[in-house]
Amino acid sequence: MSTPLKSSFLLSYLCTLPPALLSREILMADSEALPSLAGDPVAVEALLRAVFGVVVDEAIQKGTSVSQKVCEWKEPEELKQLLDLELRSQGESQEQILERCRAVIRYSVKTGHPRFFNQLFSGLDPHALAGRIITESLNTSQYTYEIAPVFVLMEEEVLRKLRALVGWSSGDGIFCPGGSISNMYAVNLARYQRYPDCKQRGLRTLPPLALFTSKECHYSIQKGAAFLGLGTDSVRVVKADERGKMVPEDLERQIGMAEAEGAVPFLVSATSGTTVLGAFDPLEAIADVCQRHGLWLHVDAAWGGSVLLSQTHRHLLDGIQRADSVAWNPHKLLAAGLQCSALLLQDTSNLLKRCHGSQASYLFQQDKFYDVALDTGDKVVQCGRRVDCLKLWLMWKAQGDQGLERRIDQAFVLARYLVEEMKKREGFELVMEPEFVNVCFWFVPLTLRGKQESPDYHERLSK
């Protein structure tokens, strides 16, 4: 805190603190170092080296070894006993703490395990993990350049790269805490763009609104409508065809119906890679409808966005460049690790900041010693925000576009392989030929084969 500029910043920051905090903050500025919480730097280092060892051995080596279990499964009551969860007044020794770390890993699900086949992500990318470890260790917040100089610039570059894959040479964006939140941002931005008054005056200034999405959409659209005060009734559910794709003619029809009921259509959320079937909505046709009616087009590409990296398969998202906003989760198909979700915007009018900013004077001073346009804090509704760009950036540096493209292509090849193997076997029934990496099928047990006509067939099959 030596330069005059910095101390004047410190002063303005201190003035905003409650008096109880002042003495501590001044101590931080004056003294050489705060006493470490654990008291003993040697012990701190020993603990962390030991923990890293446990992580590498237990979570990474064993956790990705096919000869080990995905999870040591226990029923909740037994697990509570085993973990000894209660927090007590007396602290524990390093040995005990290390044993606790091992137990946490032992009873947790190893999502990097080759036999982990759960929701939409799996595998372990070592570079992304390295990025996550560095992120956690630095414990900084993404909101201003002064506290996150590296990550502010890095986030900008990663978002620029993702936008370029969408097909935009300019625009805006932000990393959000997950695709659900990215979707909610898109809805809020679309509403604000149409009714800027709503930021100050709230919902009472608005007519009843309508947004449109298909029956196969992710449930976060409904949640978002509730959370943003639109109400779930404002979500109009458009038909999907037998492959799970939104039917543009039905979208057109639903828009007409909503208008006839006195609602104002403002947004369509198309899905690129639906969560269950892996369907890609026909974006060109949907963009035409949006253009005709002046509606914001959001593309929920949380799951399918990463297909844009594949020259072979990116045609599935043809038309995405006509969207106003795109949600894309590199934490799913790209295996960047939870969480890593980008909201991308075509907008260049600072819509994000206008919609979500509140110009907090203690954090976002306009007379800083760098370009304050770099401060991202007023783009979001959070205050502190995790660094989510490093894990993706580091993995991308290690893999290059080509390495990531190979991974995506390989996922398609594996899905195809699975389908071909199923076709060779009795008892497997495909729900449909997949066009993405979701392979939906029934396994029909011996006792039910050839009994499709019996009245309880579907109930028994489900069981």
Ligand X SMILES: *Cc1c(COP(=O)(O)O)cnc(C)c1O
Ligand Y SMILES: *[C@@H]1O[C@H](CO)[C@@H](O)[C@H](O)[C@H]1NC(C)=O
Contact partner at residue 218 from ligand X, ligand Y, none, CB < 5 to 8 Å by partner kind: ligand X
Sign for the CA dihedral angle at 87, 88, 89, 95 comes to: negative
Supply the minimum distance, in Å, between the C-beta of residue 29 and ligand X.
39
Interaction of residue 302 with ligand X, rule CB under 6 A? yes
Using CB under 6 A, pick the residue from 135, 180, 306, 376 that binds ligand X: 180
Number of amino acids touching ligand X (CB under 6 A): 13
Interaction of residue 141 with ligand Y, rule CB under 6 A? yes
- What residues between 17 and 76 interact with ligand X by CB under 6 A? none
Supply the minimum distance, in Å, between the C-beta of residue 384 and ligand Y.
5
- Strands 264-271 and 296-301 turn out to be parallel
Q: Which is nearer to ligand X, 263 or 439 (CB)?
A: 439
Residue with tokens 């404002």: 234
Binding track over 379-398 against ligand Y, x by CB under 6 A: -----x--------------
Contact partner at residue 302 from ligand Y, ligand X, none, CB < 5 to 8 Å by partner kind: ligand X
Supply the minimum distance, in Å, between the C-beta of residue 18 and ligand Y.
15
Contact partner at residue 271 from ligand X, ligand Y, none, CB < 5 to 8 Å by partner kind: ligand X
Spatial CB neighbours of 33, under 8 Å, sequence gap ≥ 6:
none
| 301 residue type, one letter | A
Q: How many CA atoms lie within 13 A of 138 on its CB side?
A: 17
- In degrees and rounded to multiples of 5, residue 220 shows phi and psi of -65, -20
Q: Which is nearer to ligand X, 135 or 275 (CB)?
A: 275
Supply the minimum distance, in Å, between the C-beta of residue 341 and ligand X.
5
Q: Which is nearer to ligand X, 306 or 341 (CB)?
A: 341
Supply the minimum distance, in Å, between the C-beta of residue 203 and ligand X.
24
Residue with tokens 């917040």: 141
Binding track over 149-178 against ligand X, x by CB under 6 A: -----------------------------x
DSSP secondary structure string, 285-351? HHHHHHHHHT-EEEEEETTTGGGGG-TTTGGGGTTGGG-SEEEE-TTSTT---S--EEEEE---S-H
Counting beta carbons within 10 angstroms of the beta carbon of residue 265, is it exposed (0 to 12), middle (13 to 18) or buried (19 or more)?
A: buried
Q: Which is nearer to ligand X, 129 or 176 (CB)?
A: 176
Binding track over 211-250 against ligand X, x by CB under 6 A: -------x-x------------------------------
Tokens for 452, please give them: 């499709």
User: Shortest Cβ contact with ligand X: which residue?
Assistant: 179
CA distance 285 to 229: 29
CA distance 413 to 422: 14
Provide the 10 A C-beta neighbour count for residue 455: 6
CA distance 158 to 456: 52
Where along the sequence are the contacts to ligand Y (CB under 6 A)? Answer: 139, 141, 384
**Residue ranges binding ligand X (CB under 6 A):** 120, 178-180, 218, 220, 271, 275, 300, 302-303, 329, 341
